[in-house]
Amino acid sequence: MTQLSLDAGTPVSISSRIRTLLKRWPVGSIAILIVLLVLGVFAPFLEPHNPDTPQIMKAHRPPVFLGGTWDYVLGTDDLGRDNLSRLISGARISLLVGFAVVLGAGSIGTVLALLAGYFGGIVDIIISRMTEVFVAVPFLLVAIAVVGAVGASTTNLVLTLIFMTWAGYARVLRAEVLRLRELEFVKLAKVAGCSNMRILFHHILPNIVNPLVILATLQLGATIVIEASLNFLGLGVPAPQATWGGMLAAGKNYIGFQDSLVIIPAIAIFLVVLSINLLGDWLRLRLDPRFRQL
Amino acid sequence: MTSYLTSRVLQAIITIIGISIVVFALSRLSGDAAALLIPPDASERDRLALREQLGLDKPIIVQYALFLKGALSFDFGNSFRFGKPALDVYMERFPATLQLAFVASLISAGVGVLIGVYSAVKSGGLTDRAANLVALMGQAIPSFAISILMIVILAVEFRLLPTSGMGDWTSFIMPAIALSWYSLASLTRMTRSSMHDVLDTEYVRLARLKGLPERTVIWKHAFRNAMLPILTLFSLQLVFFISGSVIVESIFAWPGVGQLSIQAIQARDYPLVQAIVFLSSVLLVALNLGVDVLYGFIDPRIRLS
């Protein structure tokens, strides 16, 4: 891919208003993400009701702000399950899948980028061609086909998404490694007799942490969206486990009758992904303006 | 130019081979394909006969070679569910998907570039703020969520548009917006930042000093030079039109390939799944190759190197 716009030397010229806005800490985003983390980690203790047990007699209760009771703050769904509890339970799944995928795909992508960029030659050719293949396939279509073939489960979902997303890291980071390899300190390390392993992991790796962190943050948001999409299509975490995508899919049948069933999970996804993206944008401007187009 | 083109074509071929391996693996990941096709109480002899007929008794590498040979002539076998060649089923559904993708890409390229350019020119103005909002919303609201919100508001509460299906032009509005949603946001963002960079340059200032009309400066001098990164992004976005169609079509009951792919996966109709994944990927590779060739025409630096 031609990268004519990414010259290292050009100054960032995004409007100063946005710059000052983003240079400050993104307080709102961090607050929302902390709430999400707490909800996800302590989900079983925070859920006011069992998120998966149907109670048909209590079905379709409205949220408290639409005339419901404080007992079921966000109302209940078609099977009488508490929406707040399901939202919290779904947060845990989204976080779990999101972090597992980013960790897995990020590690694989980083190691391959290090090998390809540093050793060059045939290693680079093989890894780069593989990367190009994965960047060029219609990602979601292949992902649902794979999940459909191996069967829907949380583990299969995570493995499929890792399999489909490592290339994004490999492609961007390889270019960084290529650049670093030519710098003095790497050559000096070589002259000093450092092993390849030592150069790769002690000298080059620390220098690609910044783009890696930015990429990983943005990918976390993207992964949560994809996870929700797959669950929405019924090809992710199997029922009765609550997921945000699954809640939207189930609520879809009650549009016009109980709109809150779709609006609540939609807002949850929106707030979380927006917060992660804002955090990612802020990190990008803060750590390395060159990567604003990642 | 020739070496540039050769390397792009070579990469496209490698990518198609890579995709064929993934697509071939799909049908093998799910276990014994023969078991899906015959009743569980069939005799062992029938089972073996079917395996032989499907070529499942041959070594895996031979099976792959046979698959590749078929795929390259677009022969994926008969769809289990429709009982006719998978390619025919795909082609029947393709026009609906193409029409929707066309409208959606017009929306995202047209609106995205327009908002992006004007927000860069009038930085800090109302358009700039609107662009900022579009960019943030587009990346944070998944297309299925925006689809459902649109259905709630436009179709159910206000009854302005049909909820689903393919009919007159009003039925295109919601699916096309949903499909262009993500790419509209990132195109707006990219156009703005690319235009910002260009507007800062000497030659744009010179054009203004010369007293050229602002419109000429913006579109002829600045935008032309800001176009490359926008085009790069647009070619990377083509994938979202294919992936996005899977979700958008199944929400709006759009009779296209995206909806078909979900039905095929749920029915374990592997010839059809393979045909859809392979053909959509090849289409994407071809489109990207087309954009790469277009680069050569737009940018003399590529054409002449």
Among residues of chain A, what percentage have pLDDT more than 70?
89
Residue B47 burial (10 A CB sphere; 0-12, 13-18, 19+): middle
Structure tokens at B302: 């590529």
- B:228-257 residues touching chain A, CB 8 A cutoff: 228-229, 232, 239, 242-244, 246-247, 250-251
Q: How many angstroms from the chain centroid is the CA of residue B25?
A: 22
Task: List the 155-184 stretch of B: residues with Cβ below 8 A of A.
Answer: 156-157
Question: Cα–Cα distance between A14 and A26 in angstroms, integer?
Answer: 17
Q: Which of B26, B140, B152 sits opposite A145 (nearest CB)?
A: B26
For residue A149, give how far its alpha carbon lies from the nearest alpha carbon of chain B (Å).
Answer: 5
A24: helix, strand or coil:
coil
Inter-chain touch B29–A2, beta carbons under 8 Å: no
Q: Which amino acid is at A201?
A: F
Q: What are the CA-CA distances from residue B140 to residues A127, A161, A217, B301 (Å)?
A: 31, 19, 13, 36
CB contact at 8 A, A294 and A171 = no
Residues of chain B in contact with residue A292, where contact means CB-CB under 8 angstroms, are 193
Which candidate from A2, A15, A270 shows the least CB-CB separation from B302?
A: A2
Distance between CA atoms of residues A112 and A104, nearest Å = 12
Phi, psi of A76 (to 5 degrees): -125, 160
Chain A residue closest to B18 (CA)? A133
B26 vs A: CB within 8 A: yes
**In this structure, is the dihedral angle defined by the CA atoms of residues A118, A124, A127 and A128, taken in order, positive or negative?**
positive
CB contact under 8 A, B229 and A4: yes
Contact indicator for A95, A36 with CB cutoff of 8 Å: yes
Specify the residue for token string 């909806």: B259
- Which of A280, A272, A255, A226 lies closest to A88 in space, CA to CA? A272
- pLDDT(A18) > 80: no
Q: Tens-of-pLDDT digits for all 305 residues of chain B?
A: 677 788 888 888 888 888 888 888 877 776 666 666 677 677 778 777 777 777 777 788 888 888 888 888 888 888 888 888 989 999 999 999 989 999 999 998 888 888 888 888 887 778 788 788 878 788 778 888 888 888 888 888 888 888 777 778 888 889 999 999 888 888 888 888 888 888 888 888 888 888 888 888 888 888 888 888 788 778 777 777 887 888 899 888 889 898 899 888 888 888 888 899 899 888 888 888 888 888 777 777 766 65
Measured distance CA(A211)–CA(A145) in Å, rounded: 31
Residue contact B246–A140, C-beta within 8 A: yes
Residue B78's SS3 state is strand
User: Whose CA is closest to A243, among A269, A274, A267?
Assistant: A269
C-alpha distances in Å from residue B177, one per residue of A245, B98, B245:
20, 15, 12
User: Is B156 close to A136, i.e. CB distance below 8 A?
Assistant: no
Helices B143-150 and A209-232 pack at an angle, to 10 degrees, of 40
- Looking at the complex, report in whole angstroms how far the Cα of residue B127 sits from the nearest Cα belonging to chain A: 13
Where do the H-state alpha helices sit in B125-256? 126-140, 143-150, 170-199, 202-209, 214-216, 224-251
Q: What is the ipTM of this complex?
A: 0.80
Q: What is the CB neighbour count within 10 angstroms for residue A73?
A: 16
CB contact under 8 A, A256 and B277: no
A97 pLDDT higher than 90 = yes
Option in B151, B281, B301 nearest A138 (CB): B281
Tokens, residue B291: 């954009």
- The domain spans of chain A are 82-287
Average pLDDT over residues A31-59: 82
Q: What is the pLDDT of residues A46-81, one digit of tens each?
A: 778 788 877 777 777 788 777 777 777 788 887 778
pLDDT for res A113: 93
Q: Pick from B15, B70, B20: which is nearest to B289 by CA?
A: B15
Give the global pTM.
0.82
Give domain A82-287's CATH superfamily. MetI-like (1.10.3720.10)
Look at the block and give the residue holding tokens 């050559």: A187
Which tokens go with A61?
């209760």
| Amino acid at the residue B89 | V
Distance CA A119, CA A205 (A): 14
Residue with tokens 């829907």: A152
Q: SS3 for B59? A: coil
Residue of A nearest to B233 (CA): A293
Q: What is the reported pLDDT for B36?
A: 66
Contact A211, A176 (CB under 8 A): yes
Positive or negative torsion for Cα A198, A204, A210, A212: negative
**For the structural domain made of B93-267, what CATH number should be given?**
1.10.3720.10
- How far apart CA A242 and CA A222 sit, in angstroms, is 20
Buried b / exposed e along B238-261 (16+ C-beta atoms within 10 A): bbbbbbbbbbbbbbbebbbbbbbb
Q: What is the mean pLDDT of residues A194-214?
A: 87
Q: Which ranges of A42-153 does DSSP label H, i.e. alpha helix?
A: 43-46, 83-119, 121-136, 139-150
Residues 266-285 of B with CB under 8 A from A: 266, 268, 273, 276-277, 280-281, 284-285
**CB-nearest partner of B277 from A10, A142, A270:** A142
pLDDT digits (tens, 9 = 90+) for A223-276: 998 899 899 888 888 878 889 988 988 888 888 788 888 889 988 988 898 888
Residue B297 one-letter amino acid: F
